[in-house]
Amino acid sequence: MPDEELPFDKLHEECGVFAVYGHSEAANLAHLGLHALQHRGQESAGIASSDGKLIYTFKSMGHVADIFTASVLNGLPGYMAIGHTRYSTAGDSSVLNAQPFSVSCNKGRIAVAHNGNITNAAELRSELEDHGAIFQASSDSEVILHLVAHSNQRTLAEALREALMLLDGAFSLVVVAGDSIIVARDPHGFRPLAIGRMNTAKGPVYVFASETCAFDLIDAHYIGDVEPGEMVIAGPNGLTREFYTLPDRPAQCVFEHVYFSRPDSIVFGVPVQQSRELMGRLLSEELPIQADVIVPIPDSGVAAALGYSHASGIPFAHGLIRNHYVGRTFIEPSQAIRDFGVRLKLNPVREILAGKSVILVDDSLVRGTTSQKIVRMVRNAGAREVHLRISCPPTISPCFYGVDTPTKRELIAANQTVDEIRQFIDCDTLAYLSLDKLSMAVRDTNAESHFCYACYTGKYPTELVNIEELMTSRPNRC
Ligand code: SF4
């Protein structure tokens, strides 16, 4: 599960989406769903509700709990709603980019929120601007609204179908369109989008979310996923499903299982806790070593550390304690404050670490700077040996499908060997989970892979124009 603050050295998810159709308290349900998806974005959040005639939108910077007061929710009536949590990249942190986006056009009223990164957004935007479109934000989600508004199709659903066909890249989309909720996933299915159902006295209520943990909170049950290339409409005729395009080679983001998603979610049909524990079990086979204790780097390393401990028989202990209440104060400070920031966030338990040979388990290693500080912290707490184990392969390439990654130049594994990284981090041994074992852990065992592993292989599942330029910049996503 993502850390919400820098300076922790993690990739960041960009967004979480939620939608509900057929409940008189739709905005309240969306509010609860967004609480469960807060880990997918802490910069801003928003809800758009509708009674089938008007769309009511409220969005703001900050956390869900701070944005949606009782009076704000009272101003969001209707039987359907969509919601969004957003994490922004540097430079685009503004309420203008908060979602959902909402407009009224010649086909009716429409509001949209999305998770992902539309890789041809800049080209589409420039074409739309040539035809008179005026953009208010830098987010690529706004492009979708303009495509719908400029479409010659008669209805919102037809115009949306046409717009989806023009998009490249990754998108899991939730839309309020007229009297319906429409959701869709890109043909590769990069980002997750689950379907849930609540049974009420007044009939079924349909819900959609980036992760199933959002269903648990509202007593909805998971009935499956929106398929790659599929568009699902919840409306007066119940639930209708259709493929707006042929599915492409599946490329589900494996990093959802490695790190992003909550362990209590089912993502791409697989429980995340199970896949992470299996990563830990398999990791114990990569470079077997005798040690006194397995210590997870909290919170995201916990499930893999448990699996490692079960497989190896080495006891598990919480030798590092995380402070959950550190704010974003430490973004972009001086180096001295950054060091302080890591110590503020994690504290060693000397009684567990002193005199021991310790295996530290983490889910990923991006720049290596935080790992170096954590190893030093564990040594200073008296550990005799420190062995670092990472429950995924070395991260060597940036992501262009909705995940905030540093540039290739900043990724330590893109530029150094495993032994050079070990020396930099100053641990006794370092090992990563191999790609084959990661595939096993997420049950990707068919002849044709269903996952994207591009940040570990550099092999991108879609064609990327201007790849050299992309490698040195950080795109503005979702
Ligand atoms: S490049 Fe990595 S983070 Fe991006 S979609 Fe693929 S697996 Fe996920």
Instruction: Identify whether 475 is part of a domain.
Output: no
**Last residue of some domain: 251, 285, 311?**
251
pLDDT at residue 472, rounded to an integer: 63
- Show which residues are catalytic: 15
Query: Two tokens at 45?
Result: 């959040």
Residues 50 and 88 in one domain: yes
From residue 200, how far is each of 77, 174, 204, 331 by CA, in Å? 19, 22, 6, 45
Question: Are 431 and 294 in the same domain?
Answer: yes
Ligand 1 centroid to residue 256 C-alpha, Å: 8
**CA of 452 relative to ligand 1 center, distance in Å:** 6
Q: Judge if the beta carbon of residue 460 lies within 6 A of ligand 1.
A: no
Same domain, 85 and 208: yes
Task: Name the domain count of the chain.
Answer: 2
Q: How far is CA 454 from CA 12, 278, 329, in A?
A: 16, 21, 32
Taking a C-beta distance cutoff of 8 angstroms, is the pair 425, 377 a contact?
Answer: no
Task: Name the residue range of residue 335's domain.
Answer: 274-444
| Same domain, yes or no: 215 and 286 | no
Q: What is the Cα–Cα distance from 155 to 137, expressed in whole angstroms?
A: 25
Q: Are residues 164 and 27 in the same domain?
A: yes
* In the predicted structure, residue 330 carries a pLDDT above the cut 50: no
**Over residues 105-123, mean pLDDT:** 91
Assigned domain for 466 exists: no
Q: What is the pTM of this model?
A: 0.92
User: Are 47 and 106 part of one and the same domain?
Assistant: yes
134 within a domain of the structure (yes/no): yes
> Is the minimum distance from the CB of 254 to ligand 1 under 6 angstroms?
yes
For residue 133, give the CATH number of its domain.
3.60.20.10
Q: Which residue has the higher pLDDT, 229 or 287?
A: 229
- Mark whether 286 and 347 lie in a shared domain: yes
CATH of the domain at 308: 3.40.50.2020
Per-residue pLDDT at 141: 81
Q: What pLDDT band is residue 247 in, cutting at 50, 70 and 90?
A: confident
Residue 187 has which token pair? Answer: 């043909």
Q: How big is the CA angle at 264 (ends 111 and 392), to the nearest 5 degrees?
A: 95
Helices 418-425, 369-380: inter-axial angle, 10-degree rounding: 50
Residues 6+ apart with CB under 8 A from 469: none
Same domain, 147 and 293: no
As to burial, measured by CB atoms within 10 angstroms (0-12 exposed, 13-18 middle, 19+ buried), residue 237 is exposed
Cα separation, 394 vs 416, whole angstroms = 10
Whether 290 is covered by a domain: the verdict is: yes
- The residue whose CB lies within 8 Å of the most ligand 1 atoms, and thus the one to mutate among 452, 453, 467, 477, is 452
- In 326-474, DSSP assigns E strands to 346-348, 357-362, 385-390, 403-404, 429-432, 451-452
In a domain, 459, yes or no: no
Q: Which pLDDT band holds residue 139 (cuts at 50, 70, 90)? A: confident
Instruction: Give residue-wise pLDDT tens across range 377-432.
Output: 999 999 999 999 999 999 999 998 988 888 889 999 999 999 999 999 999 999 99
Q: Under a CB-based contact definition with an 8 Å cutoff, are residues 302 and 280 in contact?
A: no
CB-based contacts of 461-467 (< 8 A; 24+ apart in sequence): 461/188, 461/249, 461/251, 462/119, 462/168, 462/169, 462/188, 462/251, 463/168, 464/119, 464/400, 465/119, 465/120, 465/123
Of the ranges 282-296, 333-347, 360-374, which one carries the lowest mean pLDDT score?
333-347
Please enumerate in sequence order all residues whose Cβ is within 8 A of that of 335, keeping only pairs 6 or more positions apart, or say none.
none
Average pLDDT, the chain: 90
Q: For residues 288-312, give the mean pLDDT.
A: 96
Measured CA distances, 286 to 274, 289, 330, 392, 435 (Å):
19, 9, 35, 11, 11
**Which tens digits make up the pLDDT trace of 169-207?**
999 999 999 999 999 999 999 999 999 999 999 999 999
The phi and psi torsions of 46 (rounded to 5 degrees) equal -160, 160
Residue 162 and residue 101 share a domain: yes
Q: Is 399 in the pocket of ligand 1 (CB under 6 A)?
A: yes
Are residue 177 and residue 326 in the same domain, yes or no? no
The whole-angstrom separation of Cα 213 and Cα 404 is: 22
Average pLDDT over residues 450-473: 82
Is 202 in the same domain as 72?
A: yes
Residue 271 pairs with which residues in a beta bridge?
Answer: 266
pLDDT per position as a tens digit, 2-55: 443 434 566 766 799 999 999 999 999 999 999 999 999 988 999 999 999 999
* Positive or negative torsion for Cα 37, 451, 420, 292: positive
Within-domain flag for 260: no
Pocket probe for ligand 1: among 259, 267, 401, 477, the residue whose CB has the most ligand atoms within 8 Å is 401
